[in-house]
Structure 1
Amino acid sequence: MNFSHSQVLGHRQSLVVSQQLRQAIVLLQMSNPELQHFIDKQAEENPFVEFAPQRALRPVPQGVAGGPREDWDRVGAIADTGSLSLYTHVARQIGALGLTEAQITLASVFVDALEPSGWLGQPLDQIAAQGGVDLPEAQAMLTILQGLEPAGLFARNLAECLRLQAADQGILTPLFASVLNNLPRLASADLAGLARVCGVALADLHPVLRLLRGLDPKPGARFEQSPEPIRAPDLIVTRAATGDWQIELNRSTLPRVTIREAKADRLSQAAGASKGYVSERLSVARWLARAVEHRNRTVLRVGEEIMRRQPGFLENGPEHLAPMTLKEIALAADVHESTVSRVTTGIMVQTPHGVMPLKQFFTAALPSRDEAAGSAGAVRHRIGRLIREENAARPLSDDQLAQMMAADGINVARRTVAKYREQLHIPTASVRRRQAILSGRH
């Protein structure tokens, strides 16, 4: 067996992704608050980086159509109703219980796990672990908190929520408790089976069901919920004085980097041996400023192209969403498809119809008899509206919804209607009818 050595020369092209390029790509996916946090962190590490606010306003081209708005006002957006939030209400009651400091600390863990419905959003053992106590101690605190008003708060499930209310009202009879133990049968409207397992006649159930309908399955929902968005929008769409729509970056959260050039010059002249450090940090700061400026321009350009293609939505709402693809926006904005995908992943836009992610505007076209094809997003919203407006005693079937779509010029198969209905978390017509009977709306 013979071995030999040889050298072969060749050319190969490859893309080398530098650290700065990788960071620039990540910047495109950041929301304004995330970007601001990133710049603040860079400013702590780099003496030549400084955060500064910025304004950028551009009209949406082609006159697609309410007045120009000042900065998005987080405080002004909160309605002054004078009502307490659920968490403020609960905190005031806990403060009046005379608990020890350790008990208050544990109670705060329970409050953190409290959902807007008034139910606990975490298992008791997990809350105990977070509070650093054993399960019996957590159970004792839960018993205390479940005594707060209104009854039903801090329940772990629907049956427990209703049981707490029934006990508070003095109607928790053995039959009532038996009904609560068999809620799945009640949910499926199997009243005959429910009467059988409870060992009573069907007529004996009716008084219990009337009392049950008077209870609140979500006692926390009666409190004022803060209308403040989960986070501020990154883009704001308003109507200009000319009647055209305009889009701007949210000035209240918009990050921009400025360079401390004068400080760099002074340090560079006096640095001596450390001139290399000054030059390197200054170079990084300048790159960061360019990258952030590029990110802001790209976000605004992509948002502008999306809104320019959605005049029907801006004027009339979600039922008029036009079909749109990433490729179309990429070509119009002169960027790569992947750039559009990254930008729209984390960016929120405030529109006349609410704050929503840019990603939500990308929806497929559906067959239509006229030239303007309907979009999947528009059909989903229309299905939701039709079901909300239906007669509870005669809910619309998927076939009927498909026929109503067809009457409007949109050809949608029954199975497609069913798919969109499920995406909206809406049950079938038969289940909706049973729910209407149980709620007394029939």
Structure 2
Amino acid sequence: MALSPRLEVRQSQGLTLTPQLMQSIRLLQLSHLELNSFVEAELLRNPLLEREDGAEPTDEAAEAPERPAELNAAEDTVDFSDRIQSADSIANGYDTEVENVFPDQSAPERLTDSTQWNERSGGDGEAADIDQFVAARPTLSDHLAAQTGLITADPAERLIAQFLIDSLSEAGYLAVELETVAEQLGAPVETIEAVLLKLQGCDPVGVFARDVRECLALQLREKDRLDPMMLRLLDNLELIAQHDLTALGRAVGADREDLLDMLAELRQLDPRPGRAFEAGPVESVVPDVFVRAGPGGEWQIELNADVLPRVLVNRIYYASVTKKTRDTAEKSFLTDCLATANWLAKSLDQRAQTILKVTAEIVKQQDGFLVHGITHLRPMTLKAVADAIEMHESTVSRVTSNKYVSTPRGLFEMKYFFTTALGSSTGEGDHSAEAVRHRIKQIIDAEQPADILSDDTIAEMLQKERGIEVARRTVAKYREGMNIPSSVIRRRQKRALVAAGR
């Protein structure tokens, strides 16, 4: 059979992701902060886009009689200069010099008119931003650098001190080896150690330590409590973490009463002395959706309009500019801008509708949680929600990423409601893994020092109480995920607490 080239025509169906479709999909998983940044960039790039800030004033509002002026905070900080006479005018009224009326005020310091006051307060007639006058929080580096001049006057030692300050971690620990510092600075290790010894006396006490033991030792030395018995206690920190008081007492050579007193002293120390200077503002979580109880017992779902960007397409501007231009490149640019603006407005609306649709299904399936609490949290998967609203599972995953919902039970990430299922032996339906974790924590919190429960016992209790079929290793995994120690360590902890209470 001879091989020869030939032409064939075939018809097939396929899904092609256009760049705009891919961008619309990406918008679903953006948080409100990332979405606002994206929209701001589009507003700067596209002249046909405008942010919808509210309704335009009507003619009736424009013709309304002028209301009497009211004082506000901005007027108190900016415009009150119009109501107060300057120093020169007051002096002229008394027919004398300014120095005779205001002897403590020199001429360059006087504010002679409102322009000078505006220059100091803002310069544009608006109230000065109060954030400009808030003192910045000192960092740990700044706090320690200010003390360096009091420790040493030698320029070489100051250079070494600054290098060591820059090498500190956020907790205040020295994160480099002294040999490495000596090699980088070309100085003897003995000199580096001498400077480090001086810096370890800085405030806060405990900084420049190389491990937890040294950090606690520095603080105890400052309190004049670093005796040989306390040193032996610091040498056995692993026994302290295990709460093995019997072995710890033998290693330290102290009776139980003295040992408990020494442990109480350790609890008063700060193992992270640099955390008081941790930089970075605390960012609050803003919900994307509000879920509230309606008057008829139903759930009302509302998007947070304060964080949802809204844009308008200025078609009037597009029509006026298109009529005036004759350049092909300019017309092509305007056409692309109009298509992009229409796509963005449509994508934002679709994103909002999709979030509402997914949230409504989550609320429908988790009604028991919203009414009764975490013990009634149902197991739910992305596929279950996707099938219910006839969407793809990946779409639901993107919608629930980086989104928060405010409910009567608190503020939760949308991903919180999706948990795996644990089987039930009673036939009442599966149990949510999150609800099981919560119940395990309740059981452990209710333990008595004389009756500490093992993982096997907790698994049996869950089986008897609610018919939850859970293995011992699953209980151990959930317990470790909540940073709850084993039954052996819990027994030692609670016995130590009881002994300390006595």
Scaled by the length of structure 2, the TM-score of the pair is: 0.66
1:170-224 per-position Cα deviation (integer Å, ceiling 9, x unaligned) = 11123323322331133224556556666x466797254443344355668899x
Q: 8 Å contact 2:144–2:203 — kept in the other structure?
A: no
Q: 8 Å contact 2:174–2:208 — kept in the other structure?
A: no
2:463 aligned with 1:406, yes or no? yes
2:399 paired residue number: 343
Out of 409, 419, 422, the residue aligned to residue 366 of structure 1 is 422
After superposition, where does 1:10-159 map in structure 2 within 5 Å? 10-52=10-52, 88=137, 94=143, 97=146, 114=170, 119-120=171-172, 123=175, 147-149=202-204, 151-152=205-206, 157-159=211-213
Partner of 1:350, secondary structure, is strand
2:442 aligned with 1:385, yes or no? yes
In structure 2, how many angstroms separate the alpha carbons of the residues matched to 1:325 and 1:36? 29
1:74 paired residue number: none
Q: 8 Å contact 2:172–2:275 — kept in the other structure?
A: no
Instruction: Give, as a single letter, the amino acid of the residue that structure 2 aligns with 1:328.
Output: A
After superposition, where does 1:222-301 map in structure 2 within 5 Å? 230-273=284-327, 274-301=330-357
Instruction: Give, as a single letter, the amino acid of the residue that structure 2 aligns with 1:423.
Output: G
In structure 2, how many angstroms separate the alpha carbons of the residues matched to 1:431 and 1:270? 81
Scaled by the length of structure 1, the TM-score of the pair is: 0.74
Instruction: Give, as a single letter, the amino acid of the residue that structure 2 aligns with 1:166.
Output: L
Q: 8 Å contact 1:373–1:410 — kept in the other structure?
A: no
2:244 aligned with 1:166, yes or no? no
1:215 paired residue number: 269
1:19-63 per-position Cα deviation (integer Å, ceiling 9, x unaligned) = 011111111111111111111111111112223369xxxxxxxxx
- CA-based RMSD of the aligned residues comes to 4.3
2:482 paired residue number: 424
2:233 paired residue number: 179
Partner of 2:217, secondary structure, is helix
1:332 paired residue number: 388
Question: Structure 1 residues 123, 392: CA separation in 2 closer, same or farther (over 3 Å shift)?
Answer: farther
In structure 1, how many angstroms separate the alpha carbons of the residues matched to 2:447 and 2:302? 39
Larger Cα Rg: Structure 1 or Structure 2?
2
In structure 2, how many angstroms separate the alpha carbons of the residues matched to 1:306 and 1:109? 49
Instruction: Give, as a single letter, the amino acid of the residue that structure 2 aligns with 1:417.
Output: V
In structure 2, how many angstroms separate the alpha carbons of the residues matched to 1:96 and 1:110? 13
Task: Name structure 1 gaps, 5 residues minimum.
Answer: 55-86
Question: Structure 1 residues 332, 204: CA separation in 2 closer, same or farther (over 3 Å shift)?
Answer: closer
Question: Structure 1 residues 170, 425: CA separation in 2 closer, same or farther (over 3 Å shift)?
Answer: same
| Aligned pairs, number | 399
Instruction: Give, as a single letter, the amino acid of the residue that structure 2 aligns with 1:353.
Output: R
In structure 1, how many angstroms separate the alpha carbons of the residues matched to 2:164 and 2:370? 46
Instruction: Give, as a single letter, the amino acid of the residue that structure 2 aligns with 1:281.
Output: C
Out of 366, 374, 382, the residue aligned to residue 318 of structure 1 is 374
2:494 paired residue number: 436
- Structure with the bigger RCO (C-alpha within 8 Å, sep 6+) is 1
Q: 8 Å contact 2:49–2:314 — kept in the other structure?
A: yes
In structure 2, how many angstroms separate the alpha carbons of the residues matched to 1:412 and 1:138? 61
Partner of 1:314, secondary structure, is helix
Partner of 1:272, secondary structure, is coil
Question: Structure 1 residues 219, 233: CA separation in 2 closer, same or farther (over 3 Å shift)?
Answer: farther
Instruction: Give, as a single letter, the amino acid of the residue that structure 2 aligns with 1:173.
Output: D
In structure 1, how many angstroms separate the alpha carbons of the residues matched to 2:263 and 2:217? 13
Q: 8 Å contact 2:174–2:209 — kept in the other structure?
A: no
Question: Structure 1 residues 366, 438: CA separation in 2 closer, same or farther (over 3 Å shift)?
Answer: same
How far the C-alpha of 1:148 sits from its partner, in A, is: 2.8
Partner of 1:23, secondary structure, is helix
Instruction: Give, as a single letter, the amino acid of the residue that structure 1 aligns with 2:342.
Output: R
How far the C-alpha of 1:427 sits from its partner, in A, is: 1.9
Question: Structure 1 residues 123, 179: CA separation in 2 closer, same or farther (over 3 Å shift)?
Answer: same
Out of 327, 336, 361, the residue aligned to residue 305 of structure 1 is 361
